[in-house]
Chain A
Amino acid sequence: MDFILSAVIVLGAIGLIAAIVLYVCSKKFAVYEDPRIGQVNELLPGANCGGCGFPGCGGMADALVKGADSGSLEGLLCPVGGTDTMNKVADLLGMAIANGEPKVAVVRCNGTCEFRPKIAEYAGLRTCAAMHACAAGETACGFGCLGCGDCVTACQFDAIHINTITGLAEVDESKCTACGACVKACPRNIIELRKKGPKGRRVFVSCVNKDKGAVSMKACKVSCIGCGKCEKECPFGAITVENNCSYIDFEKCRLCRKCVTVCPTKAIRDVNFPTPAPAPKPKEAAAPQKEVNASPVVKESEGKEEKA
Chain B
Amino acid sequence: MNIRTFRIGGIHPEENKLTHEVATKVADLPKQAIFPLSQHIGAPAKPVVQKGDKVKVGTMIAEAGGFVSAPIFSSVSGTVFKIDTAIDATGYRRPVIIINVEGDDWEESIDRSDKIELVENHPELTPEEIVNRIKNAGVVGMGGACFPTFIKLTPPPTAKAECVIINAVECEPYITADYRLMMEHADEILIGLELLMKGAKVSTGYIGIETNKPAAIELLTKKCAEKFNGSSYQVEVVPLAQRYPQGGEKQLVDAVIRRQVPAPPAIPVNVGAIVQNVGTAFAVYEAVMKKKPLFERYTTVTGKKLQNPGNFLVRMGTPMKDLIDACGGMPEGDNKLLAGGPMMGKALTSVEVPICKGTNSVTILSGDDARRKEPQPCIRCAKCVSACPMGLEPYLLAKISEVKNWERAEQEDIVSCIECGSCQFTCPAHRPLLDNIRQGKSTVMGIIRARATKK
Cβ contacts under 8 Å, B85 to chain A? 211-212, 215
A265 nearest CB across to chain B (Å): 19
A125-B371 contact, Cβ under 8 Å, with A134-B346, A142-B92, A142-B93: no
Cβ contacts under 8 Å, B372 to chain A? 123-124
A119 at the interface (CB under 8 A from B): yes
Report the bound CA distance from A215 to B334 in whole Å: 25
| Contacts of A60-108 to chain B: CB distance below 8 A | none
Please, how many residues of chain A have a CB less than 8 angstroms from a CB on the other chain? 19
CB <8 Å contact, B439 and A129: yes
Cβ contacts under 8 Å, A133 to chain B? 438-439, 442
B44 at the interface (CB under 8 A from A): no
Interface string of A120-143 (1 = CB under 8 A from B): 110111010110011110101010
CB <8 Å contact, A136 and B439: no
CB <8 Å contact, B93 and A125: no
Cβ contacts under 8 Å, B439 to chain A? 125, 127, 129-130, 133
B349 at the interface (CB under 8 A from A): yes
| Contacts of B346-405 to chain A: CB distance below 8 A | 346-350, 371-372
Least CB separation from B372: chain A residue: A123
Q: Which residue of A119, A130, A136, A211 is within 8 Å of B435 (Cβ)?
A: A130
Report the bound CA distance from A96 to B327 in whole Å: 71
A152 nearest CB across to chain B (Å): 16
Q: Is the interface of A mostly helix, strand, loop or mixed?
A: loop
CB <8 Å contact, B347 and A134: yes
Report the bound CA distance from A83 to B204 in whole Å: 72
CB <8 Å contact, B92 and A136: yes
Q: Which residue of B334, B349, B436, B442 is within 8 Å of A119 (Cβ)?
A: B349
Interface string of B233-272 (1 = CB under 8 A from A): 0000000000000000000000000000000000000000
Cβ contacts under 8 Å, A127 to chain B? 439
CB <8 Å contact, A125 and B92: no
CB <8 Å contact, B347 and A135: yes
B87 at the interface (CB under 8 A from A): yes
Least CB separation from B371: chain A residue: A123
B103 at the interface (CB under 8 A from A): no
Identify which of B84, B350, B435 gathers the most chain A CB atoms within 10 Å of its CB: B435
CB <8 Å contact, A120 and B435: no
A125-B349 contact, Cβ under 8 Å, with A142-B91, A211-B85, A215-B93: no
Q: Which residue of A120, A130, A211, A212 is within 8 Å of B349 (Cβ)?
A: A120
Report the bound CA distance from A211 to B436 in whole Å: 29
B310 at the interface (CB under 8 A from A): no
B65 nearest CB across to chain A (Å): 20
Report the bound CA distance from A173 to B90 in whole Å: 36
Least CB separation from A140: chain B residue: B349
B432 at the interface (CB under 8 A from A): yes
CB <8 Å contact, B436 and A125: yes
Cβ contacts under 8 Å, A215 to chain B? 85, 93
| Contacts of B417-450 to chain A: CB distance below 8 A | 432, 435-436, 438-439, 442
Report the bound CA distance from A130 to B438 in whole Å: 8
Cβ contacts under 8 Å, B92 to chain A? 135-136, 142
CB <8 Å contact, A125 and B87: no
Cβ contacts under 8 Å, A129 to chain B? 439
Cβ contacts under 8 Å, A212 to chain B? 84-85
Cβ contacts under 8 Å, B93 to chain A? 136, 142, 211, 215
Cβ contacts under 8 Å, A124 to chain B? 372, 432, 435
Closest 5 CB pairs of A and B: A135-B91, A125-B435, A120-B349, A125-B432, A136-B91
> Using a CB–CB distance below 8 Å, which chain B residues touch chain A?
84-85, 87, 90-93, 334, 346-350, 371-372, 432, 435-436, 438-439, 442
> Using a CB–CB distance below 8 Å, which chain A residues touch chain B?
119-121, 123-125, 127, 129-130, 133-136, 138, 140, 142, 211-212, 215
Apart from A123-B371, A124-B372, A215-B85, what are 18 other A-B pairs with CB-CB below 8 Å?
A: A119-B350, A123-B372, A127-B439, A129-B439, A130-B435, A130-B439, A133-B439, A133-B442, A134-B91, A135-B91, A135-B92, A136-B87, A136-B92, A136-B93, A138-B349, A140-B349, A211-B93, A212-B84
A-B contact pairs, 11 of them (CB 8 A): A124-B372, A125-B435, A130-B436, A130-B438, A130-B439, A133-B438, A134-B347, A134-B438, A135-B349, A136-B87, A215-B93
